[in-house]
With several copies, the nearest count.
Chain A
Amino acid sequence: MSHPIKTIPGITKESTEELIAKTLEVYPEKAKKKRAPHLGANDQASGSACVKSNKKTVPGVMSARGCAYAGAKGVVWGPIRDMVHVSHGPVGCGWYSWGTRRNLMTGKLGVDQFAMQFTSDFQEKDIVYGGDKKLKQLLTEAKELFPLAKGISVLSECPVGLIGDDINSAAKQSAKELDLPIIPCNCEGFRGVSQSLGHHISNDTIRDHIIGTREFSEPETPYDISLIGDYNIGGDVWSAKALLEEIGLNVKSVWTGDGELEKIAATHTVKLNLIHCYRSMNYMCKVMEEKFGIPWLEFNFFGPTKIRESLRSIGERFDQTIQDKVEQVIAKYDPIMQAIVDEYRPRLEGKKVMLLVGGLRPRHTIGAYEDLGMECVGSGYEFAHTDDYDRTAPEMPDATVVYDDPSEYEFEKFAHALKPDLIGSGIKEKYVFQKMGIPFRQMHSWDYSGPYHGYQGFSVFARDIDMAVNSPTWKLVESPF
Chain B
Amino acid sequence: MSAEAAVKYVTETPESEKERVAAWINTEEYKELNFKREALVIAPPHTCQPLGAELVAHAFEGSLPFVHGSQGCASYYRSTLNRHFREPAPAVSDSMTEDGAVFGGQNNLHEGLENAIAIYKPKMVSIFTSCMPEIIGDDLVAFLKNARNKGIIPEGMPVPFANTPSFNGSHIHGYDAMLLSILQTLTEGKKVEGRCTGKINLIPGFDANTGNFREYKRLFAEFGVPATILGDISDVFDVPCDGTYHTYPGGTKLDDAADSINGKATLSVGPYSATKTFAWLKDNYSGKHAAIPMPLGIAKTDEFIKKISELSGKPVPESIKNERGRAVDAMTDSHQYMHGKKFALYGDPDQLLGYVSFLLEMGAIPYHILCSKGSKKVEKEIQALLDSSMYGKGCKIYMGKDLWHMRSLIMTDPVDAMIGDTHGKFACRDAGIPLFRFGFPIFDRVNKHRYPIIGYQGVINMVTEICNKFIDIKDETCEDRFFEMMR
Measured CB to CB, the residues of A under 8 A from B are 26-28, 30-31, 56-70, 86, 89-93, 95-100, 102, 104-112, 116-124, 126-127, 134-135, 137-138, 141-142, 144-145, 147-148, 157-159, 162-163, 189-193, 195, 207-210, 212-217, 235, 258, 260, 262-263, 265-266, 407-409, 412, 426-428, 430-437, 445, 447-449, 463-464, 467-468, 470-474, 476-481
Contact = CB atoms under 8 A, between A and B. Distances in A.
Contacts of B168: 123-124
A472 B362 contact: yes
Q: Which among B2, B117, B331, B389 has the greatest number of chain A C-beta atoms within 10 A?
A: B2
Interface string B23-43: 001000010011011111111
A118 B113 CA distance: 35
Given A92-B47, A159-B131, A476-B361, A111 B25 contact: yes
Contacts of A407: 119
A147 B22 CA distance: 11
Contacts of A70: 72, 75-76
B37 to A, nearest CB: 5
B4 A213 contact: yes
Interface stretch (B241-249, B267-275, B284-292): B241-249
A477 B486 contact: no
A59 B70 contact: no
Nearest to B306: A480
B340 interface: yes
Q: Which among B95, B116, B426 has the greatest number of chain A C-beta atoms within 10 A?
A: B95
B484 A104 contact: yes
Q: Chain B, interface size: which category?
A: 35 or more
A472 B167 contact: no
Nearest to A57: B95
Given A60-B114, A471-B363, A472-B362, A122 B79 contact: no
A163 B135 contact: yes
Contacts of A135: 39
Contacts of B219: none
Given A92-B50, A159-B135, A409-B120, A214 B10 contact: yes
A138 B36 CA distance: 11
Contact of A431 (B43, B50, B86, B112): B86
Contacts of B40: 86, 118, 120, 137-138, 141-142, 145
Given A90-B48, A472-B363, 19 more contacts: A27-B115, A27-B118, A28-B115, A30-B111, A59-B112, A62-B119, A67-B73, A99-B484, A109-B430, A118-B41, A119-B41, A121-B44, A141-B40, A235-B482, A432-B245, A471-B339, A476-B298, A477-B332, A478-B242
Q: Which among A31, A96, A126 has the greatest number of chain B C-beta atoms within 10 A?
A: A96
B54 to A, nearest CB: 11
A478 to B, nearest CB: 6
Contacts of B245: 412, 432-433, 435-436
A142 B318 CA distance: 56
B39 A120 contact: yes
Contacts of B306: 480-481
Contacts of A27: 115, 118-119
B329 to A, nearest CB: 8
Closest 10 CB pairs of A and B: A67-B72, A99-B485, A92-B48, A60-B112, A59-B112, A60-B115, A96-B76, A90-B166, A138-B39, A60-B116
A134 B87 CA distance: 38
Contacts of A112: 13, 18, 21
A436 to B, nearest CB: 5
18 contacts: A60-B66, A60-B94, A60-B111, A60-B116, A66-B72, A92-B130, A108-B22, A137-B38, A148-B13, A148-B17, A162-B132, A191-B98, A214-B8, A265-B10, A428-B89, A473-B332, A477-B241, A481-B306
Nearest to B4: A213
Q: Which among B165, B246, B336 has the greatest number of chain A C-beta atoms within 10 A?
A: B336
Q: Which among A116, A118, A207, A445 has the greatest number of chain B C-beta atoms within 10 A?
A: A116
A108 B15 CA distance: 12
Contact of B336 (A119, A141, A447): A447
B377 interface: no
B119 A60 contact: yes
Contacts of A447: 336
Contacts of A31: 111, 114-115, 118-119
Contacts of B97: 56, 190-193
Contacts of A119: 41-42, 44
Contacts of B89: 428
A437 B76 contact: no
Interface string B63-87: 0001000111101111110110011
B487 interface: yes
A109 to B, nearest CB: 6
Interface in B259-318: 298-299, 302, 305-306, 309, 315-316
A66 B75 contact: yes
Contacts of B119: 26-27, 31, 60-62, 407, 409
B477 interface: no
Interface in B422-477: 423, 426, 430, 443
B423 A98 contact: yes
A213 to B, nearest CB: 4
A307 B478 CA distance: 28
A446 B41 CA distance: 30
Contacts of B396: none
A188 to B, nearest CB: 9
B242 A121 contact: no
Interface in B100-135: 100-101, 108-109, 111-120, 130-132, 135
